[in-house]
Amino acid sequence: MKIIVLVKEVPDTYGERKLDLETGLADRAASESVLDEISERALEVALAHAGSADGVEVVLLSMAPESAAATIRKGLAMGAASAVHIADPALAGADLGLTARTLAAAIRRTGFDLVITGNLSTDGSGGVLAAMLAELLEVPNATALSSVEITADSVSGTRSTDDRAMRVSAPLPAVISITEALPDARLPNFKGIMAAKKKPFETLTAADLGIEPQDLSVASSIMTAIAEKPPRTAGVKITDEGDGGTKIAEFLIENRLA
């Protein structure tokens, strides 16, 4: 069985995250880059299955600038067998449609039984890529799984929604996305880190995948406006005069935070 895990390098959420107002792209120099935690959890799902079943191959796939190679290699250090890195300056700023087309082409090229993604990256926060990939790959899709069971020919799990949890399952091949309810990833150990440099690491361009980033015949999104994040204002201070709890509750409801 071949499991492809989509991994993404993102600006560390502990740091300041900024957009470049000229290009509209994430300012990668503004903070440290890390492997998105949800990617690590997705990888953990795959590695846990690889550890419990025979003949499971875990492949990492990422579309990211060349500088992300070290971050992707962390996934190899954690235990993935190989990595495919689509690094092409022409793909910088790709919208979700172009990203999905490119990733789907790479997934087809690599071959797969199961694709695992995070439900939502911490930078783009699109949350639709898994569904787009399933559509393009013409396979079933189960999103936002908070538990996952993989067998030789199916995948099933729990899909949490706002008001209830559903049991879902699909025959393989399939695409799933997982939530942060799934366990933290294992830490890579020194042996894994040393072994990572010897594992297959393929770097591809859009042309290698038959993708034309500037293809204007395909519908794509355009950015119409971008603005600096408004400066932080002083917070609301609630003084407790015996009704502090009620006031806090009202504040939360009013701001739809409850």
Please identify which residue in 197, 212, 243, 245 interacts with another protein, judged by CB under 8 A: 197
Contact of 39 with 5, CB cutoff 8 Å? yes
Question: What type of residue is 140?
Answer: P
Contact stretch for another protein (CB under 8 A) within 67-75, 157-165, 200-208, 246-254: 67-75
Task: Assess contact for 8 and 65: CB atoms under 8 A.
Answer: no
Given 196, 204, 206, 211, the residue binding another protein (CB under 8 A): 196
The crossing angle, in degrees rounded to 10, of helices 37-52 and 69-78 is 30
Query: Contact with another protein (CB under 8 A): which of 99, 188, 209, 211?
Result: 188
User: Quick one: which of 193, 199, 205, 238 contacts another protein (CB under 8 A)?
Assistant: 193
The 8-class DSSP code of residue 208 comes to G
Distance of closest approach, residue 80 Cβ to another protein, in angstroms:
14
Binding marks (x or -) toward another protein, 68..107, rule CB under 8 A?
--x--xx--x------------------------------
Q: Which is nearer to another protein, 194 or 253 (CB)?
A: 194
**Closest C-alpha among 72, 61, 43, 156 to residue 100:** 61
Number of residues in contact with another protein, rule: CB under 8 A? 13
Q: Are 8 and 36 in contact (CB under 8 A)?
A: yes
CA 173 and chain centroid, separation: 19
Task: Please tell me the distance from the alpha carbon of residue 97 to that of residue 215, in angstroms, as a whole number.
Answer: 12
Distance CA 50, CA 44 (A): 10
* Contact call for residue 198 and another protein (CB under 8 A): no
165 binds another protein (CB under 8 A): no
8 binds another protein (CB under 8 A): no
Which residues bind to another protein, rule: CB under 8 A? 70, 73-74, 77, 187-191, 193-194, 196-197
